[in-house]
Amino acid sequence: MDAIRQHVRVTFNFPVCFTNGVFGAENRLLRDLIAGTDDPAPASIVVVLDDGVANGHPDLTTQIDHYCATHADAIRLAAPVLVVGGGEAIKNDPLALASIHDLIHGASLCRHSYVVAVGGGAVLDVAGYAAGTAHRGIRLIRVPTTVLSQDDSAVGVKNGVNGYGTKNYFGTFAPPTAVINDSAFLSTLDDRDWLGGLSEAVKVALIKDSAFFDELEHLAPRLVGRDMAAMASVVRRSALLHAAHISNGGDPFELGSSRPLDFGHWAAHRLEHLTGHALRHGEAVAIGLGLDCTYSCLAGDLPEADWRRIVDLLLELRLPVWSPALDAHLETPDHPNSVLRGLAEFREHLGGRLTIMLLRGIGRAFDSHEIDTKGMIRSIEILQQVAAGGSSRVIGPGLQVAAPARGRS
């Protein structure tokens, strides 16, 4: 056999910026990010705006128009701002994706043009997928507007839409040109979205940084009380931890089987589907974290004291740890409405062997390749008791359950 082996090395470098009032005419951040290229002509941009953000900030479209006019030496708004539906529904709607492709095409954007996506994680996912597939990739600037998107998803390199009943079945690995976290957008979030995104901060603390977990415990009352300074601090630290893992974790494009940042997500993705997305992503992640931490404790890996701290923090942050959707068809894991089917779907989506991240302690994660379904069912039962009692103390002085078979890497 005659073969030539190619070695292609590509390095991506993009800033994650923190500001307040990104579209204020006096704020030069967006302008300078776009102007910092080798082309002296104004760059063409289109803006995709989440309708929830547009409703919460009624003057935003006018503000964007004014911003681009003020900085016309660097920016040319090539089409009116496109307002799209937000939430998970947009990821299930092919017409929404088509509308963004139509916007890009109608504005005659090229690969040196920009799509500026302003919204929650779902809108950023769809706009990023559209940008990544038009002309094989148009520059993308993400302006996340929720806690969940600012502290986690926007700093990553993935974009996607749902298909065949599976979250992110279609997608691309396409890093953004820049991410702009604007704390001003967080002020109009309802309590549910304000707190729901904190599950991703808890997640990254559990797998990466025990000191950050300590800080979350300390800040919990202020976070529940909508203290913006506390939230800005948490968002920044969580975003930096996520970004550091993606940059330095050795597998940014997920060629292997281990997915540390998907801790708790096998159940979360399944629960979103089973509830018709009545559970929002952050809420589903909180339940997924509770489930996998409980399983880790029952398996003898996670100390019970750590388990109690984790569950108590989730509860203090007003995050759910149980849903009725967990109970359906547990005796038949392959049933379409069983949460346990999520294990097989998780393996299929990620590829390779089943790899579920579990805990040996706060900040000490490991990969497991076997999950005992009886142990997972018992974990669900325990979380139901916790949810009913409002505290991990409802279990008593000890979990008092038989440990399941233990699967390890």
CA–CA separation, 260 vs 207, rounded Å? Answer: 7
Model pLDDT for residues 129-182, shown as the tens digit of each residue:
999 999 999 999 999 999 999 998 888 888 999 998 888 899 988 899 999 999
Cα 220-278-234 angle, rounded to 5 deg? 25
Q: Report the 10 Å Cβ neighbour count for 136.
A: 9
User: What is the mean pLDDT of the segment spanning 114-143?
Assistant: 96
Model pLDDT for residues 224-262, shown as the tens digit of each residue:
999 999 999 999 999 999 988 888 766 566 555 457 778
Domain ranges of the chain: 16-188, 205-395
pLDDT of residue 251: 56
Structure-token pair, residue 46: 């289109």
pLDDT of residue 18: 96
User: What is the mean pLDDT of the segment spanning 126-131?
Assistant: 96
**Conformational region of residue 300, where left means phi above 0, alpha means psi within -120 to 50, and beta covers everything else:** left
Query: Which of the residue ranges 4-18, 175-189, 356-370 would you say has the lowest mean pLDDT?
Result: 4-18
pLDDT of residue 395: 80
User: What is the mean pLDDT of the segment spanning 108-135?
Assistant: 96
CATH of domain 16-188: 3.40.50.1970
179 touches 155 (CB < 8 A): yes
- Residues linked to residue 264 through DSSP beta bridges, in sequence order: none
CA–CA separation, 29 vs 23, rounded Å? Answer: 9
* pLDDT of 385 above 80: yes
DSSP-H helix ranges across 135-264: 147-151, 191-196, 198-208, 210-224, 228-248
User: What is the mean pLDDT of the segment spanning 74-91?
Assistant: 95
CATH architecture of 205-395: Up-down Bundle (1.20)
Cα 16-32-152 angle, rounded to 5 deg? 15
pLDDT of residue 40: 78
CA distances from 379 to 73, 209, 394 (A): 59, 24, 14
Query: Which of the residue ranges 53-67, 204-218, 356-370 would you say has the lowest mean pLDDT?
Result: 356-370
